[in-house]
Amino acid sequence: MRRADRPAGGLPWYGYAALCLLTAATLCLCVSLGSVAVPFGDTAAAIWKAVWGLELPQGMSRTIILNVRLPRVLATALCGASLALCGAAMQGLLRNPLADGSTLGVSAGASLGAVTALLLEISFPGLPFAGTMITAMLFALGSLILILSLSYAADRGMSTQTIILMGVVLSMFVTSIISLLTAFSGDKLRSITFWTMGSLSGAGYTETLVLLGALAVFGGVLLSRADELNAFSLGEDAARHMGVAVRPVKLTVLVCVAALIGVCVSVGGSIGFVGLIVPHAARLFTGANHRRVLPLSLFMGAVFLMLADLLARTVVSPIELPIGVVTSLVGAVAFVVIFFRRRRPC
C-alpha cells in the first residue's frame, strides 16, 4: 500500500529538522550556562563526542558538562516534553482548552505519593534511589483508578464532564491532605515545600532514562492517537460518528497521560503551567490539527522547561529558585498574552 496521501497531515520533515536543531541548541546553551560558564562551542563539542563515544579531555569542564549539567538538562527537557504532550492530549480529549495533566487529579495524586515517601522515608529493596519515584507513580495510578471508578459510578457513559469534575474534586481533596501532611512534617518541611514547588536539581542519568522510557512508550501511544484527538475535539458523538471507538481510546489516552505525569512528578515535583501554556502556543503556529500540535508541543515543552530551569538556577545565583515558580510566573503572563491575541478581532 502506498504511503500517506492525506490532506491536512502532520509536520513536514524540515519542520522536524528545525525543531530538533532548536532543541539541541537550547540544550547546549543550558548546559553551557550556570555558576561556572563553559563556552557554547566547547559544550557542543563535548556532548557530540560523548554521544559518539569519542575521547574527551579530562578536567572540570568535562565533569560539569557530563556529570552535573547534562543529566539535569536532559531530564528537564524530557519532563517538559512529557508535560506539554500530556497537556495537548488532555485539551484535545476533553475539548477543553483549560485542561492539562493536572485536570485529572493525577498530578496531585503523584504529589501525595512523593510527599508520603519523603515523610516516611520509603525505599524499595534493590532500588533505594527510587523510593519517591515509585511511590509517586503508584499514587498517580491509584488516583487514576479512583477517578475513573467514581466517574463510572456517577455516569456509566463516563462523559468528559464527569471525568473533569471528579478530577477537580479529587485534586482539591488531595491538595488539602498534602497541606495537612506538610503541617506535621517537622524538620522535613523545607524539603517537602521545595519539592512541591518543583525542582530538577537532583536529576541524574537514572531519572533521565526512566523519563526517556516513559516518553517513548506512553508518548508514542499519545502521538499515534492524533486523529482520534482531532475527532474528540468535535465532541464525543462526532468522534463516534467518524468511527472512533470512544471508550477504549479515552481510557488509553487517560492511562498514558497518568503514567507520564506520574513519572514527571516523581522526578521533578509539581511543575505547573507547562501542560497548559505550551499547547496553546503550539496552536498559534500550526492551527488546531493534533497531527501537528502534539509533536510541536513535545519539542516546545522541552525548550520551554529547559529555559525555565536555566532561569531558575541563574537569575539569582547562587540561590536556586524552584522551577515551578518560574514556569508559573512566565506561564501566567504568557497565557494572558496568548488569550488576548486570540480574542483580538481581525
Partner 1 sequence: MLEAKRLTVAYEGGDAVRDVSFSAEAGEWLMLIGPNGAGKSTLLAALAQCAPYQGTVLLDARDARRWRPRAFARAVGVLAQTHAAGYAFTVEELVSMGRYAHTHGFFRSQDPNGREAVRRALDMAGLWELRLRNMRTLSGGELQRAYLAQALAQEPRVLLLDEPANHLDLVYQKQLFELIGRWMRDGDRCVISVVHDLSLALRYGTRVLLLDRGCLTADGPARDTLASDALRRAYGMDVADWMAQTAERWREVAGGKSHGSGQGSRAC
- The binding site for partner 1 (CB under 8 A) comprises 1-10, 91-92, 95-97, 223-224, 226-228, 230-231, 233-235, 237-238, 240-246, 283, 287-289
Nearer to partner 1, 152 or 205 (CB): 152
- Residue 240 CB, nearest approach to partner 1 (Å): 6
Task: State in angstroms the smallest separation of the CB of 283 from partner 1.
Answer: 7
Q: Where are the alpha helices (DSSP H) in the chain?
A: 13-32, 40-52, 60-62, 70-93, 106-120, 131-154, 160-183, 189-196, 205-214, 220-223, 226-232, 236-242, 246-268, 274-286, 290-314, 323-343
Query: What gap in Å lies between CA 231 and CA 216, rounded to an integer?
Result: 24
**Closer by beta carbon to partner 1, 153 or else 288:** 288
Q: How far apart are CA 85 and CA 297, in angstroms?
A: 6
Residue 184 DSSP SS3? coil
Around Cβ 306, how many Cβ atoms within 10 Å?
25
Q: What is the dihedral of CA 41, 46, 48, 53, to 10 degrees?
A: 160
Shortest distance, position 210 Cβ to partner 1, whole Å = 24
Which residue's CB is nearer to partner 1, number 99 or number 311?
99
Q: Tell me the DSSP string of 200-215.
A: -TT--HHHHHHHHHHI
Nearer to partner 1 by C-beta: 79 or 223? 223
Smaller CB separation from partner 1, 31 or 89: 89
Q: Smaller CB distance to partner 1: residue 128 or 243?
A: 243
Burial track 257-286 (b if 16+ CB lie within 10 A, e otherwise) = bbbbbbbbbbbbbbbbbbbbbbbbbbbeeb
Which residues, in sequence order, are CB contacts of 190 under 8 Å at separation 6+?
Answer: none
Least Å distance, CB 250 to partner 1, is: 13
Quick one: 75 or 229, whose CB is closer to partner 1? 229
Q: Which is nearer to partner 1, 165 or 209 (CB)?
A: 165
Contact 109, 144 (CB under 8 A): yes
Nearer to partner 1, 174 or 253 (CB): 253
Contact status, residue 36 vs residue 43, Cβ threshold 8 Å? no
